[in-house]
């Protein structure tokens, strides 16, 4: 099963992709995670993408497409994958078509108000990358990772100015992909405004229908 997850920032793509990956036993591939990991390790790719990612701007398509093409060629993707954050515009969607088909595109639907509310509470563990939300999915101990016990951090691009910019880019560049996948007959819309487990049930129901 080759799945693309669509949805505004804060719609829960990362959280649901992790759950789907465990349920379907296929890898969760997040372009944002790949870029952040490279930035953290100070690789050449990291240095190249840092200024875009920090400001909430899209990394140039050529770079993103090259990275994703190489990633999807890896052995663990042979039975399928869940893409989170790619494709992000029409050029990337057309490029993806050249190296892989898409069986389902799942769009997690939420309002901008809810997106902003959620992103403001989002934190992650700087050591293991585990995701939390201070209201909807809080750590057991105050602001500490349940597993690593280090202090959780907020992504630079989750700060208010960057959020506004990223939501604007989503509506202009990414949302049109819903029509693109609808025309191909693979689009599924799921209400992303519910709690984590209800959204997951909605996704599984949509996938089996
Ligand atoms: P995300 O975690 O998906 O919100 O991605 C974080 C940042 O990585 C984005 O704000 C972009 O700078 C960059 N990024 C992630 N995916 C893409 C993509 N498909 N195309 C271009 N830039 C991307």
- Give the nearest ligand 1 atom to 88 CA: 19
Distance from the alpha carbon of residue 190 to the mean position of ligand 1, in angstroms: 22
pTM for this prediction: 0.87
pLDDT digit string (tens) for 90-139? 999 999 999 999 999 999 999 998 998 888 899 999 999 898 999 889 99
Distance from the alpha carbon of residue 197 to the mean position of ligand 1, in angstroms: 25
Distance from the alpha carbon of residue 166 to the mean position of ligand 1, in angstroms: 9
Of the residues 71, 155, 165, 178, only one is catalytic, namely 155
Which single residue is written with the structure tokens 């920090």? 54
Do residues 103 and 3 touch, judged by C-beta distance below 8 A? yes
Q: At what angle do helices 61-72 and 90-99 cross, to 10 degrees?
A: 30
Instruction: Using alpha carbons, select from 62, 67, 9 the residue that is nearest to residue 38.
Output: 67
Q: Are strands 131-133 and 104-109 parallel, antiparallel or unpaired?
A: unpaired
Question: Is residue 151 annotated as a catalytic residue, yes or no?
Answer: no
**DSSP for 105-155, written as a single string:** EEEEE--HHHHHHHHHTEEE-TTT--EEETTTB--SSTTB-TTT-PBPB--
Of the residues 88, 104, 118, 123, only one is catalytic, namely 88
pLDDT digit string (tens) for 147-188? 999 999 998 888 888 888 889 999 999 999 999 999 999 999
Instruction: Using alpha carbons, select from 208, 143, 153, 170 the residue that is nearest to residue 13.
Output: 170
Q: Whose CA is nearest to atom 15 of ligand 1?
A: 32
Measure the CA dihedral 154/156/42/147, to 10°.
Answer: 10
């Amino acid at each position: 099963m080759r799945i693309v997850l669509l949805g505004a920032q804060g719609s829960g793509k990362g959280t649901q992709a992790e759950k789907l990956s465990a349920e379907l036993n296929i890898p969760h591939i997040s372009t944002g995670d790949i870029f952040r990991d490279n930035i953290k390790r100070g690789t050449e790719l990291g240095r190249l993408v840092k200024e875009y990612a920090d400001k909430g701007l899209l990394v140039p398509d050529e770079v993103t497409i090259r990275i994703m093409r190489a990633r999807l060629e890896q052995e663990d993707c042979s039975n399928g994958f869940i893409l989170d954050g790619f494709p992000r515009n029409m050029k990337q969607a057309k490029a993806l078509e050249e190296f892989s088909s898409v069986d389902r595109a799942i769009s997690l639907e939420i309002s901008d108000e809810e997106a902003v509310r959620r992103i403001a509470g989002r934190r992650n563990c700087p050591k293991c990358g585990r995701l939390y939300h201070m209201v909807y999915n809080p750590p057991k101990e105050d602001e500490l990772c349940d597993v690593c016990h280090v202090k959780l951090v907020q992504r630079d691009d989750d700060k208010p100015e960057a959020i506004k910019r990223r939501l604007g880019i989503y509506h202009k560049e990414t949302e049109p992909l819903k029509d693109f996948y609808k025309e191909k007959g693979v689009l599924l819309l799921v209400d992303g405004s519910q709690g984590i487990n209800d959204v997951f049930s909605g996704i599984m129901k949509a996938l089996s229908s």
